[in-house]
Amino acid sequence: MSKARVLVVDDDRAVGLVLASLLKQAGYESHHVASGEDALAALASRAIDVVISDVRMPGMDGMELLGEVKQRTPDVPVLLLTAHGSVPLAVEAMKAGAAEFLLKPFDRDEVLFTVEKALATNARVAARPPDAPVRGEGQVLGDSDAMRETIARLKKAAPTVATVLLRGESGTGKEVAARTLHGWSPRHAGPFVAVHCAALPDNLLESELFGYEKGAFTGATQRKPGRVELAQGGTLFLDEIGDISPAVQVKLLRLLQEKEFQRLGGTSAEKVDVRFVAATHRDLEAMVEDGTFREDLFYRLNVVPVWMPPLRERGDDVALLANRFCAELADQNGRAGLRFAADGIAALRAHDWPGNVRELQNLVERLVVFAEGDAIRASDVERELGARSARNGRPSGSPAPIDAGTLDAHRVEAEKGAIRDALARAQGNRTQAARLLGISRRTLYNKLAELGLE
Ligand SMILES: Nc1ncnc2c1ncn2[C@@H]1O[C@H](COP(=O)(O)OP(=O)(O)OP(=O)(O)O)[C@@H](O)[C@H]1O
């Protein structure tokens, strides 16, 4: 299908561009405009599926824009973004019809989760057929020994219907690999449908996967196909498979074994023809051992295991990827010609990339947005790495312990306390705990790993 279109409205160019490009990376078509007036012009001239707008802007502000959008194109959900969050403002915005209220500085997963949720309420988008990506789109890139081996395995698996299990740390490119595999497969003209299993609570995940019949539950006013059905003739990508509950594990086992499923509220089994690709950063073998992941499901998934190597083991790929990202992002951001100086690349090579390719891509993006000359130098890289490490509480390069007196150490402790508290209040239920904390389930999982609370 054509990609969902997101309009980003922010008078702060850097914020707007970063947000628009984050959405692009996630597979949306996104445009940035700098004012409410320009947003209305964009809405009048092209089909937009969701709007994300800053609240405080000169001229027409986000609240006024919200009012106009609700009048002119009531189907289009509006998400408001502000650094000046206050409860009365949020309440006022929700009353005026805002789909959601997001706080700056924004969290990538939170933004994507919220956009996905908002798109699900847009009937026009829901009625579209699923994704049929262009052959070759989003191909895995890499020339290191580790990556050559991975690519060779993907090529061998591509022409078959064997289930592929992609393993590797977060940000290593498992989803990119899944899309590449689909693009290389005989099913490439069919749909590629992704389900991010950790992002959804159980009941939503089930209805998302299997769909529902009219009347299956309150609010089920019409029959809705699930992602499994939408992937007919193509590939179903089950991301974060290690995060699904035992109840969903049983249903997936049946789907993988019998190639059939039942819609929620349905009475008959439906047959499907889909190729399964799953991914996880978790140690599934250990989960099988401790009884949190079904052994039979593990074997069904682990037919062709493919490991995505961490970026720190990919040698020259750092330079290859950085140059590629720089060229693309510089082009998109009106900085064509901007490149890395040799010492800039050397500085990148010296970093250990705990966030893998995602971290590199985000860093290059910031370097492009804030670059002043024609070349990105080691000092620019070090400054950005240092700034981000300070924010993450993870000093750059060497993993020195956090000084108990620093602001970051306090933040880390405060976050740990809030997460422990929410988990206790939710009696260990992570979905509820995430809700109490106002973050997505996926963000909670990432935080648990980052803070060593798992
Ligand atoms: N080989 C690659 N070529 C181009 N971009 C890549 C490559 N690998 C990863 N990326 C980019 O890095 C980011 C992370 O990739 P991806 O989402 O596929 O990782 P992942 O392993 O699925 O992460 P997670 O486990 O957190 O879901 C994406 O923005 C993706 O576009």
Q: Which residue has the higher pLDDT, 187 or 410?
A: 187
What Å distances lie between residue 255 and 261, 263, 275, 280, 287, CA to CA?
Answer: 6, 12, 11, 19, 21
Q: What pLDDT score was predicted for residue 86?
A: 62
Q: pLDDT confidence of 378, banded at 50, 70, 90? A: very high
- Counting from 1 in the atom list of ligand 1, the atom nearest the Cα of 178 is 18
Residues 33 and 109 in one domain: yes
How much of the chain, in percent, has pLDDT values that exceed 70? 88
Measure the CA–CA gap between 8 and 42, rounded to whole angstroms. Answer: 11
Beta bridge partner(s), residue 235: 192, 275
Q: Look up residue 28 and give its two tokens.
A: 């949306």
Across the range 388-398, mean pLDDT stands at 44
Structure confidence by residue, pLDDT tens digits, 19-29 = 888 888 877 88
- Ligand 1 pocket, residue 208 CB under 6 Å: no
| Substitution site in 180, 357, 362 for ligand 1 pocket (most atoms within 8 Å of beta carbon) | 357
Question: How does 277-315 read in b/e, with b if 16+ C-beta sit within 10 Å?
Answer: bbbbbbebeebbeeeebbeebbebbbebebebbbbeebb
Cis peptide before 105, with omega less than 30 degrees from 0? yes
Question: DSSP state, 11?
Answer: S
Across the range 411-416, mean pLDDT stands at 74
Longest pairwise C-alpha distance within the chain? 65
pLDDT of 64 > 70? The answer is yes
Q: What pLDDT score was predicted for residue 417?
A: 78
Residue 140 falls within a domain, yes or no?
Answer: no
Q: What pLDDT score was predicted for residue 203?
A: 82
Residue 401 falls within a domain, yes or no?
Answer: no
In terms of Cβ atoms closer than 10 Å to its own Cβ (0-12, 13-18, 19+), residue 33 is buried
**246, 273, 307 - which closes a domain:** 307
Residues 185 and 289 in one domain: yes
Across the range 155-182, mean pLDDT stands at 94
pLDDT of 399 > 50? The answer is no
Q: Which residue has the higher pLDDT, 91 or 196?
A: 196
- Ligand 1 pocket, residue 176 CB under 6 Å: yes
- Counting from 1 in the atom list of ligand 1, the atom nearest the Cα of 280 is 25
Residues 342 and 255 in one domain: no
The CATH number that applies at residue 223 is 3.40.50.300
Number of separate domains in the chain: 4
Residues 204 and 338 in one domain: no
- Counting from 1 in the atom list of ligand 1, the atom nearest the Cα of 26 is 29
Q: How close is the Cα of 25 to the center of ligand 1, in Å?
A: 9
Structure confidence by residue, pLDDT tens digits, 420-445 = 877 876 667 787 777 777 777 777 88
Residues 11 and 122 in one domain: yes
Indicate the average pLDDT of the chain.
84
Measure the CA–CA gap between 31 and 46, rounded to whole angstroms. Answer: 11
pLDDT of 116 > 90? The answer is no
Across the range 226-236, mean pLDDT stands at 92
Q: How close is the Cα of 241 to the center of ligand 1, in Å?
A: 16
Residues 378 and 262 in one domain: no
Q: pLDDT confidence of 84, banded at 50, 70, 90? A: low
Beta bridge partner(s), residue 260: 271
Residue 133 falls within a domain, yes or no?
Answer: no
Across the range 150-159, mean pLDDT stands at 94
Residue 137 falls within a domain, yes or no?
Answer: no
Residue 107 falls within a domain, yes or no?
Answer: yes
Q: Which residue has the higher pLDDT, 296 or 214?
A: 296
Residue 399 falls within a domain, yes or no?
Answer: no
Q: What pLDDT score was predicted for residue 437?
A: 77
Q: How close is the Cα of 358 to the center of ligand 1, in Å?
A: 6
> Within 10 A of 418 (CB to CB), how many other CB atoms are there?
14
**Contact criterion met (CB below 8 Å) for 144 and 307:** no
**70, 93, 126 - which closes a domain:** 126
Q: Which residue has the higher pLDDT, 35 or 110?
A: 35
Q: What pLDDT score was predicted for residue 131?
A: 40
- Ligand 1 pocket, residue 172 CB under 6 Å: yes
Q: How close is the Cα of 95 to the center of ligand 1, in Å?
A: 37
Helices in 58-173 by DSSP H: which ranges?
Answer: 62-72, 87-95, 108-120, 123-126, 145-157
Q: What ipTM did this prediction achieve?
A: 0.96
Dihedral of CA atoms 360, 113, 280, 19 in degrees, nearest 10, equals: -10
- Please name the residue whose Cα sits nearest to atom 23 of ligand 1: 171
Structure confidence by residue, pLDDT tens digits, 41-63 = 888 777 788 999 998 899 999 99
Q: How close is the Cα of 18 to the center of ligand 1, in Å?
A: 17
Q: Which residues lie closer than 8 Å to 60 by C-beta, 6 or more apart?
A: 35, 36, 37, 40, 68
- Which domain does 161 fall in, by range? 145-307
Across the range 126-145, mean pLDDT stands at 56
Measure the CA–CA gap between 323 and 298, rounded to whole angstroms. Answer: 38
Q: Which residue has the higher pLDDT, 117 or 192?
A: 192
pLDDT of 193 > 70? The answer is yes
